[in-house]
Structure 1
Amino acid sequence: MNDKFEFFRTEIKKIASDWRNATLKIKPSEVSGLWLCHELSAGLDNIIRRIYEVSFNLALEAAGEHYRAGETEIAIVATGSYGRRHLCPFSDVDIAFIPSEQDNPFVDALIKYAFRLLVSAISDATDLRLGYAYRPLEDIPNLDSITKTALLDACLISGSERLYKELLNQLYETIDVIAFVRDKVAERSSARKSVIYSTEPNIKLGTGMLRDALQILWLLSVINKLHPPVANKLCEVGALQRSEAEMLEEAIDFYLKVRNWLHTRCGRKEDVLLREYQAQIANDFGFEGNERSKINAFFERLYGYAEAVNSLVRDVEESALEMKVEIDEHFYAEHKQLYVKGEDVLLRKPKLLLVAFQHAQRYGLEFSRELKRNIRHVASKVGKVLLRANGCGKELMRILEQPLHQDTIKEMVELGMLQAFVPELERAMRFVPSNRAHELTVGAHCVRTLLNLIELELKSKDSETLMGEVWKEVSDKGILRLAALLHDLGKVISEDEQRHCEAGASIASEVAEAIGLDSESKNLVVSLVKNHMLLLRTARLHDIQDESVLSKLANEIRDVGMLRMLYLLSYADAQAVSKQTFTELEKELLDMLFINLHRYMVQQTEASVPTDISEKWSYLSRRLKKSGLTQKQLEIATSLFPPSYLLNMPLELIAERLQIVDRLTETQKPVIVIRSEPGVDFSELSICTYDDPTPGLLSKICGVLYAKDVDIRMAYVLTANMPASFGKRNIVLD
């Protein structure tokens, strides 16, 4: 079998190599763009058909007992530019394998042989790049819009026509028209970075260029469920006027001719028409006159097509976004707004109230005036019934678990939906807290906290900040968002800090029960509400370096995942009180507490730091020595700083503190260092001096600062019993 396979592989590599050499001899300037692309595609088709024929026979020999005619088969499908017959000289060759079934030995053998021969033919025998995918039919409904776009251009090369037709049927039946249109419009809008009249245009991605011409075909083919997406067929069904279809075909042909020329001229995939190529391409394309006249004539043709394509694509996009589209049996979209079918359907099926918000969020739709009025009317009638209505809780969690938009939450509050779902929120919306620091009522504060949480996630998405790293590790985002909405509702019952947390936890338990959360999710949301003040209170009132403080917190929180969620909730909660109360200093303290506590909990879990005190100091010494600190500095560090400080603070900060001590011992005079950072509304003042024999050194320092009208937000004092080699005087670091 191996000898036979090697024989066929050698044969197919020779065919592919000959094909490649022959195609590179064609001069793109002497033929139309579409003709050359079709010629390249047709030659490759023949190679792949031979590959399928050989692979089929080899698979029969290897696993023929598992072959059932008409049942166990595959389809080899070209996608992307190859599928739409736009293959340029150095375009990627994209192939999809469509199996009739998975885990069938014959089908597996057929794909294995075909794949190996494809790699030999394309990657080994030519200089082209092979892209491939395995696409079982059951996966088609769940593919993203980019992958579905590539399949819109699918073309059967070899194998089962039945599977190919099923692929197209699955694609067009399951494609979400509104989502597809919205995603494709957003994708192109963000990609259109250049104006039409760039002096070095990108022929593929530039404004009004090839991708915009294809955008027209893709959108209209999905809307009209038409395959393949070509201009003349769209014209036949009335989606394009004859003049528009002819313009598109001419523009695409010209763009492909330019791309073919660029690929051949550069010997690689190239789409930017640099100035250095412009005189040559204008001459090769047969434009007349002197050099400048030829270039100007060339660009007049190019820009003319770009202007026409740009005008048409924007019209098609706008029309696609505004057209009437059925979403389901109860809702439809039109003019970028969401409508409901029938005035009483929401009252008869309260669950649809939440489905409406799901649709609006998913598709970026606004509610029609009629739907807003309908929702407000029904929400005022259902009250607590909504919370316990069959399936409503699941729908609410579905909204909270999806990537959330602030507008969705604001709309739910404005129309009374959240108040109807959580009746305690309605009372809280009108409850003014006694704490003067709060800018909003209790209910509005809870909503603001949820909005802050959404904004924090959006801003820190994909960032390498502490907040960004924490968000990446949070999986129960729906539970976190629900806790944010409920966290302060207990204040309506009691404004005492401890009691309001406990009352809020009781409300959260009732809501979680009514929603139908499982016990684990219920316990999680209750714990978040009950402990939502824990980190903020500790950061403000306790020594965040003290190991006993960290140990107590760790015992209360118990889980690192819970710590991450409490950190995010604390941040959003503090921001929601007022802009003045959550200062840059408090943010830094909260960050430091999270870092210290996270490190402490991980170390306790993994036992990465020895617990015996002598072993702990040994571990610490090794860390400090690795940082480059001298033996003298190490002695000072172990005398001046408590273990919790050394084990939880970055080595850079420890080294900075030790430099201050060094200066004190050298000069014998107090050392004062002021550190400020951009964008932070406070400065850090460090004072290092010898301790005063009489009590009151800190009071004296604070008195001087007060006299100079300096506000003190936090003070941290370290008094060290110095080693004998440094004298008998103790050192104080404030």
Structure 2
Amino acid sequence: MFNFFRPTDHGEGQLFPAAIGDWAPPPVSNGDALLDAAALKSRIADWTVECGGPDKCRTGKGRQALLGLMKAALKSGESEVRNRFLNDFGTGDDCVRNRVHVLDQLIRTLADISDLHLFPAPNPTTGERFAIVALGGYGRGELAPKSDIDLLFLLPYKRTPRVEQVVEFMLYLLWDLGLRVGHAVRSVDDCIRTSKTDMTIRTSLLECRPLWGEPALVEELFKRYKRDIVDADSKADFVEAKLAERDARHRKLGDSRYVMEPNVKDGKGGLRDLQSLFWIAKYLFQVRDIDGMVAAGVLNDDEAARFRKALSFFRAVRCHLHYLTGREEDRLTFDLQREIGPAMGYTDHAGASGVERFMKHYFLIAKDVGDLTRIFCAALEADSRRKPRRFMFFLGGAKEVDGFVVDRERLTFPSERHLRDTPIDMLRLFRVAQDRDLDIHPAALKAITRSLKLIGNKLRNDPAANALFLDILTSPNDPEKALRRMNESGVLARFLPDFGRVVAQMQYDMYHVYTVDEHTMFAIGILHRIENGAIADEMPLATSVFPSIKSRRALFVAMLLHDIAKGRGGDHSVLGAKVARKLCPRLGLSTEETETVEWLVLNHLAMNDTALKRDIEDDQTVRDFVGLVESAERLRLLLVLTCADIRAVGPGRWNGWKGSLLGQLYNRTRHLIADGFDFEGTESRVNAAHEAIRTRLTAAGWSDDAVAAFLGKGYPPYWLSLDTDTHCRHAALVVRAERQDDPLIVDARPVGDQGTTEVTVLTPDHPGLIARVAGALAVAGANIVDAKIFTLTTGLAIDLFNVQGGADTLPFDDPDALASLSDTVSRCLAGTIDPTAELERQRSRLPTRTNVFRVQPRVLIDNAASRTHSVIEVNGRDRPGLLYDLTRALSGMALQISSAKISTFGERAIDVFYVKDVFGLKVTNETKLEQIRSHLTAVLADGDPGSVPPAPAPTRPARRRLGKRPRMPAGTQGQTAQKP
């Protein structure tokens, strides 16, 4: 029988134990209740007697009986581990240790039985003696519920037949038990040779733990690993490899700690980052646990406590993930977030849901991991000063700049006591680094992290400190980089406590990609890039407008504060304006600048809401918006802020279509302000449109009679809503349709500067036409973003739909895609494709993880937003064919749809319809209005079964005055979802 490794207490200061028997696995409570190895061995010993010999025990019924005994023991142990964690509210630390204990006992028992009873060797030769070593997480004593186990079968030299038989028997039995086992069979020489060239193997051996077998083999491996690998001038290579591996992992997963569905294990700020720090510390300083990192001077006691807290938190989250999914799942998806939050004790509180509080805590822990990484790197740098090694961090000649020390182009403090004497230099350091374009030394960031308590009310109210901060925010030298450094180090949250409340604040939906603070950093960076022309190709209008802005400081402060009140349980625009009113004077802004910032924060959603959710060609829409803005300067400020805000929401959130809508609203508003709010009469505008069309068509060879005939076919809204190019293109399509026996024409063309595809449908008008076209476009995979509906005097309908291609929000611009789109719409309108059945199939393929999102159905009817139409706004959960269902419902109530604005924000759809009744008038009858609300709410709820229909909302009978009082919410703010 081989010797077992008997655990005892162990000391510190060495890479591996001084003796093999000194290694101690993580302690567990009442281990026999998890798996009683002695009892299991006793049962197996009885089984070996009943089998009648090794051969019969290894095969057939004998093997099945052994498998049954071990499977029962494993199942009982795993069940007890799960019960202690889920039902007895155990910690993640206990859960991973308990599972290690169960597997340790199981594998040792199997190895002992195999050696003694199944492959007996009374006097084994040296070549027949081997050891079993745990590697990776299992070697670390940290094994999540569904994680695989890694084993090394360590041989003295080459394999012998008996060893091969034992290893093969054990592995197959472990696999049949349902365990995922990674394994290697190597000699000590093999291990050392492969470790020299393979960093993964080198790292796994760093955490090897002896389980069973020949002690001398493991002692030899430990001795040679330290001598031939660790001490062989390889430390710099190891550190570089681990940090490069970390960076590559971050890039693969988005390179941000604040993605909404983070990877707990491999994501930035996750479990693997902590493990990487520990690997480096173990390799460099020969520590064996977190206390050893304190003894080595890598961390202090407080930082070690944060390290343990982060480890414990991530372990708990990961254990929940594995138990909920029944597999090794490390991605914290939306549906799992909603289940794990309550399971870990997070409840709704203070305006934030339990899941939002859970995820905020997650991101704060991830931020702590970033702090610990910086502190750790500073310790490595300090160690390189003391020890003349070939190391990735080494110091060149230092020089002094503005009272700081520049060390290899990195700024740091002249002494450890510096901040205690001059805490304002925590701000000045970032300003000098920004102004001189220097990096900040890890030692400086470490000193700041350890001195944050020095930032109190005295420093916050210091005019010099506030002037420094305002200089950083409004500097032409990349304020995003400086502010991001301040945020990561904790300075920003301490200096601006209101901003600290949104650090790691999650926005629990599928639209926002980043936390509030991360979004704000991106938005400030985009504002800076608009100013210097770096994204003029994406935002030409905002770029051209920026040089005319007079209130530049107010604009940057407003961007910093625009979302500062999110998560407070109210309208964040209104609450944010109050924060701005109080904070701006402290920062040194004038009364005029403070009023501008307050107005921008209060109304930062108004331009987005008006452009994307209202008909810009409707005079009343523009009148209301002009009444809100009132001045050309405010219009310029709001345009630039809106563009940067939308683009900072996440990749793909900004596109040419949104830019074109904002541009149209900006230009109409600018002209009206310049003309003294003088709205040109409808008749003169129609005449001007006719004249432009006549000129173009005549130049194209049309006769006067043909031009007059076309101009006589349209009603005023048609001439006022489209440009001359579109009218002339329609003229040719109308002539073509009138000459066909079947006057159905579907014309699709990309609109390059808008990032959309325009689909024009000409066909005889009939009730429900827009619903059929909407269904056809949904079947074709097109997302409708805008619709304009016209009927000519001849009864021919001309319906225009601006669409984008599904989830990627790109236009259909490939010739084949355009032809397929036109063909699908034509076939649906001809009745050869049933949109209802096809859309039902599409809905069945929706990803189930998004089903956790519930959007409360809401229907608002506004009779003051337009002089000629009732405006119906619906809010609900998006789904394939939602517009088809809504337009069918509207048509079924005998309503005429003149135009529609379609917006999707992640899981939320906000669709706006301009409608009239059968007599061409607004809908004012209360019974009819209630019918509209009831029917549309039912359509919305049908796609979101978890929602509850709301109480009826009142119709707004009177025109709203926008912006006449400085703190009144703008546009439809407060009625629609707060985006972006």
TM-score for the superposition, normalised by structure 2: 0.37
Which structure shows the bigger proportion of residues in helix conformation?
Answer: 1
Question: What is the TM-score with the length of structure 1 in the denominator?
Answer: 0.49
